[in-house]
Copies of this chain bind each other. A is one copy, B any other.
């Protein structure tokens, strides 16, 4: 007998599939079994469940145990992993993906929350929120006649990378400024045009001609530390550098040096090493705003990923093409 599987812990079920979303998923799945991964007695029980249920579809999230490499033998009916969060690296061995199993994840459904964090951090730089938080709370501070405040209105914003998150960021920037450009050789002209964003032809120009840089390039083996000291030093005085993409894209030692010497506001959500080491030079710097990698989908918007998953389940069952199906190439590039 074939039974589909929903393998989520309580928090995952409540946050990704709140309100009636879980019921709708169950209805679509038909005959199914709910497995709480926290109650599983090790790998053996998980494999036994997969064998017995022989599911066609698995709805999974972070707590779901890794799928065994011999899944195609264990559960010959298996066809589709509907993964609620992002990276499936810990769930799915590459060989299973290669065997032709369909996989979807949250894809672009959560991009806007990262974009929102990019706007937040940019505005924090403009108003020196990092500095004022310490001044106001710990030093009894107040503004003086020398206090400089900046606005995002009319600023030149340069985005490095122009994927889904960067595109959402451009939309949120538009009420503030028409001067938005992006550097991304691979994204087609049409997307730039549709969003009214200028294509910048080099990182050098992006940095030297922007008041705000928003770092959103995907990490590849070719672009580690591509944001060099020279680029950072080429930023105009008073500029802001915001990273909500990947820390390893930046030469972080150079960034700490430049931030210590230059009139620059920095705001980081991501780091080359996470958790950020306690002795990181960024900790304590008055012009460097720090968040602990929380731009990603906020708890309250996991439901957007749930709605996206529901749509993909519907499409799968009706034989329609899936939205943003994961390819082996995407699997390899994911970080």
* B175 engages A113 (CB within 8 Å): no
How far, in angstroms, from A231 to B126 measured CA to CA in the complex?
A: 32
How far, in angstroms, from A129 to B151 measured CA to CA in the complex?
A: 19
Choose, from A65-73, A86-94, A292-300, the stretch at the interface: A292-300
Asked if A140 is an interface residue, CB under 8 A from chain B, the answer is yes
B residues within 8 A CB of A138? 284
* A126 engages B275 (CB within 8 Å): no
Interface residues of A in 117-151 (CB under 8 A from B): 117, 119-120, 123-124, 126-127, 129-130, 132-138, 140-143, 147-151
Asked if A290 is an interface residue, CB under 8 A from chain B, the answer is yes
Asked if A205 is an interface residue, CB under 8 A from chain B, the answer is no
* A141 engages B300 (CB within 8 Å): no
* B127 engages A294 (CB within 8 Å): yes
Asked if A116 is an interface residue, CB under 8 A from chain B, the answer is yes
A158 to chain B, nearest CB (A): 18
* B129 engages A133 (CB within 8 Å): yes
A10 to chain B, nearest CB (A): 13
B residues within 8 A CB of A174? 175
Q: Please give the count of copies of this chain that the complex contains.
A: 2
* A127 engages B137 (CB within 8 Å): no
How far, in angstroms, from A278 to B142 measured CA to CA in the complex?
A: 9
How far, in angstroms, from A225 to B16 measured CA to CA in the complex?
A: 41
* A123 engages B116 (CB within 8 Å): yes
B residues within 8 A CB of A49? none
**Residue with the highest number of chain B CB atoms closer than 10 Å, among A119, A134, A154, A293:** A119
How far, in angstroms, from A274 to B171 measured CA to CA in the complex?
A: 37
* B283 engages A147 (CB within 8 Å): no
B residues within 8 A CB of A276? 136, 142
A298 to chain B, nearest CB (A): 4
Interface residues of A in 237-271 (CB under 8 A from B): none
Known interface pairs A137-B134, A294-B149, A301-B151. Does A116 touch B176 (Cβ–Cβ under 8 Å)?
Answer: yes
User: Nearest B residue to A144 by beta-carbon distance?
Assistant: B292
Asked if A112 is an interface residue, CB under 8 A from chain B, the answer is yes
Asked if A291 is an interface residue, CB under 8 A from chain B, the answer is yes
How far, in angstroms, from A149 to B110 measured CA to CA in the complex?
A: 13
The residue from B124, B133, B140, B148 contacting A120, defined by CB atoms under 8 A apart: B124
User: Nearest B residue to A135 by beta-carbon distance?
Assistant: B292
How far, in angstroms, from A116 to B153 measured CA to CA in the complex?
A: 9
Q: Which residues of A contact B (CB under 8 A)?
A: 112-113, 116-117, 119-120, 123-124, 126-127, 129-130, 132-138, 140-143, 147-154, 171-172, 174-176, 274-276, 278, 283-285, 289-294, 298-301
- 20 intermolecular pairs with C-beta atoms under 8 Å apart: A116-B123, A116-B176, A120-B129, A124-B129, A129-B133, A129-B289, A133-B289, A134-B134, A136-B283, A138-B284, A142-B275, A142-B276, A143-B292, A143-B294, A147-B292, A149-B299, A151-B300, A154-B301, A172-B176, A175-B175
